[in-house]
Amino acid sequence: MKSNFPFSTVHMFRGLGFHGQREQFSLSRANSNTKTQQRAFLNMASVVVGRAFASSSSISSGDLSSNNSATTKMSVAAAARRGLSSSALLSFKSANAMLGKRRTHRQHRACFARGAASSSSSERQQHELSPPTRKTNEFVQLSKKAAPPAPAPQQQLSTFEQVLYGGIALTAASVLKRELAPGCELIDGKQIAQEIREEIKEKVEKMKTITNGNTPGLAVVLVGERKDSQSYVRSKKKMCAEVGIRSEGTDLPEDATEEEVLKVVRAYNADPNIHGILVQLPMPKHINEERVLKEVSYEKDVDGFHPLNIGALSQRGREDPRFVPCTPRGCIELLKRSNVEMKGKKAVVVGRSNVVGTPAALLLQRNDATVTVVHSRTKNPEEAIRDADIVIAACGVTEYVQGSWLKPGAAVIDVGINAKDDATKKLGYRLVGDCDFESCKKVAGKMTPVPGGVGPMTIAILLQNTLEGAARSYGVSEQLGLKN
């Protein structure tokens, strides 16, 4: 949809000497035609353009409301029609004169550069800007009072960022973010995972027909008696049964030796009816997990952790990995099925673990995104995140990513799952992600909830990997429409 405003706010603010974050002053073109958004924009434009015109004609800001010049008159009735207060009687006619003419970008830059230059030589006065409220008609209000002391931290908005020009403090970021950011669409991981399982079930039935009854087989190795691990294994076996995949399992005691575990893995490697081997992590401390994972054949490594699979994932133009790690692949699948464009977009992965962060960054690169990885040694991580069109948060820190860090309209995939104390819950806690959901959903364009986002996708992709392994083994990948 074409914007109702003839030029970008970025040019206006930059021409006047503002150098804040670009996204905080850019309009949502798809939502720029609503009255509330127009009012928010015109209020801001009135302040800035009015200031520039007043300065260039040697009119002080304090005289704007009483000056007889035609450029500074605006009746209270006209203000009411636009949703403004009488205290915001700025050079509205001058603002509309600029907004009403379509100019080239070069003309805009030249015009506002002149205003900024003349303003720098005129007398500057301190003004205060009342912070925006949550009323329907929000506006920018100037008064002639001296600048007050900084408000208490609890009174400041999380998105409040002051932009200074000629002593005027503008809460442009807060106004534009709250009024102009598009509504957040929740990415339903449960629904998408269900769709994937239904697709897998259809292909398993087709495989049985083509191969005279053969089905995919998944083996799970569990060492110890961790309740959470046992629960995960039961869930995986249940999902296998739903889609027609045959599952087997070997449960070893907590004190099983490393050699005993390796013996089980080797047996599954040699079994032609097993197409995927999953070693449930974490394992007891006396067992070298790295050695056990390396023992799994890379052609049955449905977790995608084998060095050969990770190495193949990191290279372009060569043989594709047999398997891709389940959770990172699930994140990419969520983006694709939610119609999020990755090609040419800026993406940030928060976290660099071998399980999620690193493979997620590699997958984004394979989809032609420009990728930045933020980790525990990154300085000013919020600066990198603010430029991102896509954010995958997988750092394991409760509610680490804040809404004020996001670019309006960004797609956010929250991989984290953390327990946060909550006395109102029966268990005394609730599950939250690595993003502060309440603040992020006000800025993001699309976002996964926790729980119900990435979690269901992990098991769905595990089943998909098992299906693909079986199809390669039986030589029916092409007939099933799967990659070799």
**Catalytic annotation on 236?**
yes
Q: In the structure encoding, which two tokens stand for residue 38, read together?
A: 């127009």
pTM of the model: 0.64
Of the residues 93, 177, 203, 236, which is catalytic? 236
Mean pLDDT of the chain: 75
In this predicted model, what pLDDT tens digit does every residue of 166-204 receive, in sequence order?
A: 333 333 333 333 333 457 999 999 999 999 999 999 999
Q: In terms of residues, how long is the chain?
A: 484
In this predicted model, what pLDDT tens digit does every residue of 245-281 receive, in sequence order?
A: 999 999 999 999 999 999 999 999 999 999 999 999 8
Dihedral angle at the C-alpha atoms of 315, 319, 324, 329, nearest 10 degrees? Answer: 70
Of the residues 188, 280, 389, 436, which is catalytic? 280
Residue type, 229: S
For residue 158, give the nearest of 361, 473, 403 by alpha carbon.
403
List, in order of start, the domains of the chain with CATH numbers. Answer: 9-180 (no CATH), 185-480 (3.40.50.720)
404-441 burial code (b ≥16 CB/10 A, e <16): bbbbbbbbbbbbbbbeeeeeeeeeeeebbbbbbbebbb
Q: In the structure encoding, which two tokens stand for residue 273, read together?
A: 């009816």
**CA–CA distance, 411 with 185 (Å, rounded to integer):** 9
Of the residues 303, 389, 434, 436, which is catalytic? 303
**Catalytic annotation on 145?**
no
**Catalytic annotation on 303?**
yes
In this predicted model, what pLDDT tens digit does every residue of 212-249 receive, in sequence order?
A: 999 999 999 999 988 888 988 999 999 999 999 999 99
